[in-house]
Amino acid sequence: MAFSVEISPSALADAEEAFLYIQKDSSLNAEEWYDGLVNAILSLENFPNRCPLASESEEIGREIHQLIYSRYRILFSVTGDVVQVLRIRHTARDWLSSDEL
C-alpha cells in the first residue's frame, strides 16, 4: 500500500532553516543534505510504520513516529493512508512539545 506524504508548513520551515545553517559552511553539502532529506521523506510512502515512535509521543498523547536522517529527526504521524510530516528537528534539540505542533 502506498501512502501519500504531506509536509506541514512548520516542517518546510524547519528544512529551510537547517539548509541555510548547513549552507553557511558549504553550499554543496547543503544541497546534498537537502536532496537526501527529500529522499528520506519520500521513503515514507512505503511502510511508514517501520519507523519507531518518537520519545515524546507518549507525553504529547499522540502517535508520532520518527525517521532519523543525518543528524535530524523527521517527525510524522500516520492517519489512514496519509503520512503528515510535522517537524524536522536536529537530534541535539530538546524533545518536541505539543505547542510546537
Residue segments in the chain with a per-residue pLDDT below the cut of 70:
none
Show Cβ contacts of residue 73 under 8 Å, excluding neighbours closer than 6 positions.
54, 66, 67, 88, 89, 90, 91
Q: Look at residue 73 in the predicted model and tell me its pLDDT.
A: 96
Q: How far apart are CA 73 and CA 65, in angstroms?
A: 9
Q: Look at residue 94 in the predicted model and tell me its pLDDT.
A: 74
Show Cβ contacts of residue 12 under 8 Å, excluding neighbours closer than 6 positions.
none
pTM: 0.92
Domains and CATH numbers, the chain: 4-92 (3.30.2310.20)
